[in-house]
Amino acid sequence: MKIAERPRMRIVAAAIGMAIALIAAAGVPGAEAAASPVTIQEPEGERLVERLRRGGLVLFFRHADTTGMPCDRSYRIGERSGQRNLSPEGREQSRRIGEILSALGIPIAEPVLAGPVFRARDTAEIAFGPERVRVTDSLLADDYSGNRLQWVLAEHRRLFSDPVPSGLNRVLVGHRTPAIMVLGPGVGGTALPEGAAVVIDPERGDPRVLGILALAPLPDRGFHSC
């Protein structure tokens, strides 16, 4: 096999895995159609913020905006030049996310956990400060996971399901596809734009999506063309 073919095979394998997961989720009683993200100005957004202020939830962020940036090419962890990185607007969006969470008084458990692909890591470190962030392979993007995809998905399930310390919220920064594969089609489609967050209740090991919160939405952005 030529080395250049390996990233393509990883993408195909991940796509097949996602399709299987979506089909399975569609057959589960109570599986929901894709939701719509809400802002903090909307009544549902206000309710999510109030619930987050009480703690005990998981806030899973998709990395911030990457509009117009080159697509992934190398699929190597630590090689920034071969990855799709945050746009300038995405870096500003990340900064605003951190400011808004602080202004809203939402308590956060530390460290914030982020995947090692730079667009996730940068989002977390810009939003919260690098000293408050721990980078973990548990939040890898699916197409960077290689033969560890099932482990990565199991880690997502664990982080979505483990109890959260009272009065705090677990904050995770990662990628959309693993979230869809674990949580189902309710977070698929246009439900989770770049920079938005899934609000999850761990529910004693059975995670339940409460909604999707867009803290710092960017008009006409949020979905790359790669």
pLDDT tens for 50-96 read 999 999 999 999 999 999 999 999 999 999 999 999 999 999 999 99
pLDDT in tens, 41-54: 999 999 999 999 99
- Note the pLDDT of residue 158: 98
Q: Is the pLDDT of residue 14 over 50?
A: no
pLDDT of residue 34: 60
Q: Which CATH code, of 3.40.50.1240, 3.30.465.10, 3.30.565.10, 3.90.1150.10, is assigned to 5-214?
A: 3.40.50.1240
How does DSSP classify residue 102?
A: H
Query: Domain spans of the chain?
Result: 5-214
CA 199, CA 8: separation in Å to the nearest integer? 32
Which amino acid does the sequence have at 201? D
pLDDT number for residue 69: 97
Confidence class of residue 166 from pLDDT cuts 50, 70 and 90?
confident
* Alpha helical stretches, state H, the chain: 5-26, 43-54, 88-104, 118-128, 149-161, 176-183
Which residues 6+ apart lie within 8 Å of 90 measured at CB? 63, 64, 65, 66, 67, 119, 123, 194, 195
Whole-number pLDDT of residue 226? 85
Q: Assign 203 a pLDDT band (cuts: 50, 70, 90).
A: confident
Q: How far apart are CA 63 and CA 178, in angstroms?
A: 13
